[in-house]
Amino acid sequence: MALHHLKNGKARGEDGITAELLKAGGTPVLEVLQKLFNSILHGGTTPEAWSRSAVVLFFKKGDNALLKNYRSISLLSRVYVLFSRVITNRLARRLDDFQPPEQAGFRKGFSTIDHIHTLRRIVQKTEEYNLLLCLAYVDYEKAFDSVEIWAVLQSLHRCLVDCRYIEVLKCLYSRATMAIRVQNQSTKPIQLQRGVRQGDVISPKLFTAALEDVFKLLDWKGYGININGEYITHLRFADDIVLMA
């Protein structure tokens, strides 16, 4: 059940509802939430509060005076987070079916270990047969912040996602705003122009779906490493990519 996966002790959204409160409500709360979620899916409109988020910045490393050295996390309504997990559980298999074997990020049954093993074997074999191998590692800067929402929605259509879910996400992002929170003080709400929300469980799936559309536009024919007549051109783990030649 999605509610069991909702972590305790997390910062609450502006509605003040915590995961602990939802879990303590038992069956009566679950029944109310079920009606709410079904109503949203049938109507295609989300509560306006779900589109609002408070963004906090966590320092990663380097110069703490540079904004690029901070990671942003969106503090979202816990009710929305639960709803997001529900629809992610429903859409995960369909979205995964449209991902190639090269993509191992955020997929059940895939891991970085698979790609690391594959890459090591390729390096070993090219050394064994004295072949030239070129590898280029790509890591997108601010990957989740860079994707366009229209591209995400377009990719969901390509994956034949039920239009009800697409309409819900379209409504959610069409009025999405964020306020930067620093030391318990927040800025005025800022309209979200692009990017998927950090900290939202469905965001990785939305990002990889849009990324796959980009990769489908590239002409890979004749490129990569030839292994028994099949070419391996690249490996992906979400936005971390290695190109081979």
Q: What is the pairing mode between strands 52-59 and 177-182?
A: parallel
Amino acid making up residue 21: L
What is the model's pLDDT at position 23?
84
Eight-class DSSP state of 154: H
- Give the helix/strand (H/E) hosting 186: strand 185-186
Q: Can you spell out the DSSP letters for 28-69?
A: HHHHHHHHHHHHHHHH----GGGGEEEEEEEE-SS-TT-GGG
Can you name the residues that pair with 242 across neighbouring β-strands? 137, 235
What is the model's pLDDT at position 35?
96
Q: What is the pLDDT of residues 141-154, one digit of tens each?
A: 888 888 999 999 99
Per-10-residue mean pLDDT of the chain, 245 residues long, equals 77 81 88 95 94 88 86 88 95 95 90 91 92 91 89 97 97 93 86 90 95 92 84 92 94
Q: Are 151 and 208 in contact (CB under 8 A)?
A: no
Cα–Cα dist 71/142, whole Å: 9
Structure tokens given for 216: 């489908």
- The model's pTM: 0.89
Cα–Cα dist 56/236, whole Å: 29
Q: Are 178 and 192 in contact (CB under 8 A)?
A: yes
What is the model's pLDDT at position 1?
65
Q: At what angle do helices 78-97 and 163-174 cross, to 10 degrees?
A: 130
Q: At what angle do helices 78-97 and 203-216 cross, to 10 degrees?
A: 30
What is the model's pLDDT at position 5?
78
Cα–Cα dist 207/132, whole Å: 33
